[in-house]
Amino acid sequence: VTEIGLQQAASFIQDHDAFTILVHVRPDGDAVGAALSCAHILQYYGKPFRLIHEAPIPGKYQFLPLCDRFEVIEQNMPIADTVIALDCGDDRQLGKGIESISDKTHVLNIDHHRTNPGFGTHNFVDATAAATCQLMYRLAKQLQIPFNKDLATCIYTGLLFDTGGFRYSNTTEEVHKIAAEMIQYGVEPYDISDRILETVTWSQVQLIKCCLDTLKRDATGKLAWIAATHDMMERTQARDEECEGLVNYARNLEGVEVGVFFREVVGGKIKVSLRSKYYIDVSRIAAAFQGGGHARAAGCTIEGTLNDVMTRVLQLVQRQLSAKD
Ligand SMILES: [Mn+2]
């Protein structure tokens, strides 16, 4: 694994000519914000770029400047010479995007997941960053890109999203300082929070109603979980990304240390989201099931039935919890 610093990441952009920008599957505010920040940087240099994804970007991010440049390619991803992969904890997170990478592709991996194995040819990974957009900010500064409202809006969106509206444990002085600077460039904090964090769709609320019926906690009260079945997704017509935040109904319960969300996905698999409050490193639990993430927010996808996967994951979490008693 070649770890590179900020200066070398900047050189990577200066030294290459045409870029393909990739983000993780089911992109979130940080992934889309980072991709579009990157697009703005390349645009400033007049360097051609493509934003490629296997599925359409969720509607709530469409207001972000340059989001219309995303191309949906479901089949035959074009092989790229130079890729910038953003906010991808590992190369499986690239989904079909991985098909655009050959042995000859130069890959700059910019990320902040502590479980990132360094899958790029160049890896600019800083797990102390709250968001990949925080790294994009540093990169833009290093490259002396003049900030404007568009670039600032993309960076601010990533910071806002990955800190849960400046509330999570990754909210630092640097995060607030960058956010304040972005506001100086014209970012409208209320407009972005309303779009990204506050607005819920009707189908999302119908799904929340169903899922709340599944909310349970263990005898210690330190572990709680919630689930969404195929049937619930179908009945409510909710899209995948509308499951975002459901894990917090488990996590936010008073006395709970670890909250878990289970969702049936296609192919007999269960997607698991883990959140913790103070002392359990959920990225380790996710890693035990070939997943990854951060200390307080992680995830994995496990083969098996809902009940089977629940038992396996909850047992492991309980073991971690009792080891800390
Ligand atoms: Mn992120």
DSSP reduced 3-state for 79: coil
Give which of 112, 134, 114, 125 is closest to 179, Cα–Cα: 134
Residues 140-154 pLDDT 10s: 999 999 999 999 999
Residue 248: exposed, middle, or buried by beta-carbon count in 10 A (0-12, 13-18, 19+)? middle
Q: Residue 265 CB: number of other CB atoms within 10 A?
A: 14
On the question of pLDDT at 2 being above 80, the answer is: no
Q: How far is CA 57 from CA 127, 209, 215, in A?
A: 25, 25, 30
Give which of 2, 81, 92 is closest to 299, Cα–Cα: 92
Quote the pLDDT of residue 197: 96
User: For residue 27, how far is its CA from the centre of ligand 1 (angstroms)?
Assistant: 9
On the question of pLDDT at 1 being above 70, the answer is: no
Quote the pLDDT of residue 269: 97
Could you tell me if 175 and 166 are in contact, meaning their C-beta atoms sit under 8 angstroms apart?
yes
User: For residue 265, how far is its CA from the centre of ligand 1 (angstroms)?
Assistant: 22
- pTM passes above 0.85: yes
User: For residue 315, how far is its CA from the centre of ligand 1 (angstroms)?
Assistant: 28
Report the b/e string of 66-91 with b at 16+ CB within 10 A. bbeebeebeeebeebebbbbbbbbbb
Residues 160-217 pLDDT 10s: 999 999 999 999 999 999 999 999 999 999 999 999 999 999 999 999 999 999 999 9
In the chain, the N- to C-terminal Cα span, in Å, equals: 37
User: For residue 220, how far is its CA from the centre of ligand 1 (angstroms)?
Assistant: 31
Residues 281-294 pLDDT 10s: 999 999 999 999 99
Quote the pLDDT of residue 3: 87
- Give the type of residue at 257: E
Query: Chain-wide mean pLDDT for the chain?
Result: 97
Could you tell me if 134 and 19 are in contact, meaning their C-beta atoms sit under 8 angstroms apart?
no
For the chain, give the percent of residues with pLDDT over 70.
Answer: 100
**Measured between alpha carbons, how far is 133 from 27 in angstroms, rounded to an integer?**
13
Q: Residue 279 CB: number of other CB atoms within 10 A?
A: 12
| Residues near ligand 1 ion, CB 5 Å cutoff | 30, 87, 132, 162
Quote the pLDDT of residue 160: 98
- Kindly state the tokens that stand for 198: 């506050």
Could you tell me if 115 and 293 are in contact, meaning their C-beta atoms sit under 8 angstroms apart?
yes
Residues 119-142 pLDDT 10s: 999 999 999 999 999 999 999 999
Q: How far is CA 225 from CA 25, 32, 70, 214, 284, in A?
A: 24, 28, 35, 8, 18
For the chain, give the percent of residues with pLDDT over 90.
Answer: 98
User: For residue 235, how far is its CA from the centre of ligand 1 (angstroms)?
Assistant: 31
Residue 8: exposed, middle, or buried by beta-carbon count in 10 A (0-12, 13-18, 19+)? middle
Q: Residue 166 CB: number of other CB atoms within 10 A?
A: 16
User: For residue 270, how far is its CA from the centre of ligand 1 (angstroms)?
Assistant: 22
DSSP reduced 3-state for 27: coil
**Measured between alpha carbons, how far is 117 from 292 in angstroms, rounded to an integer?**
10
Give the pLDDT mean for 73-95: 96
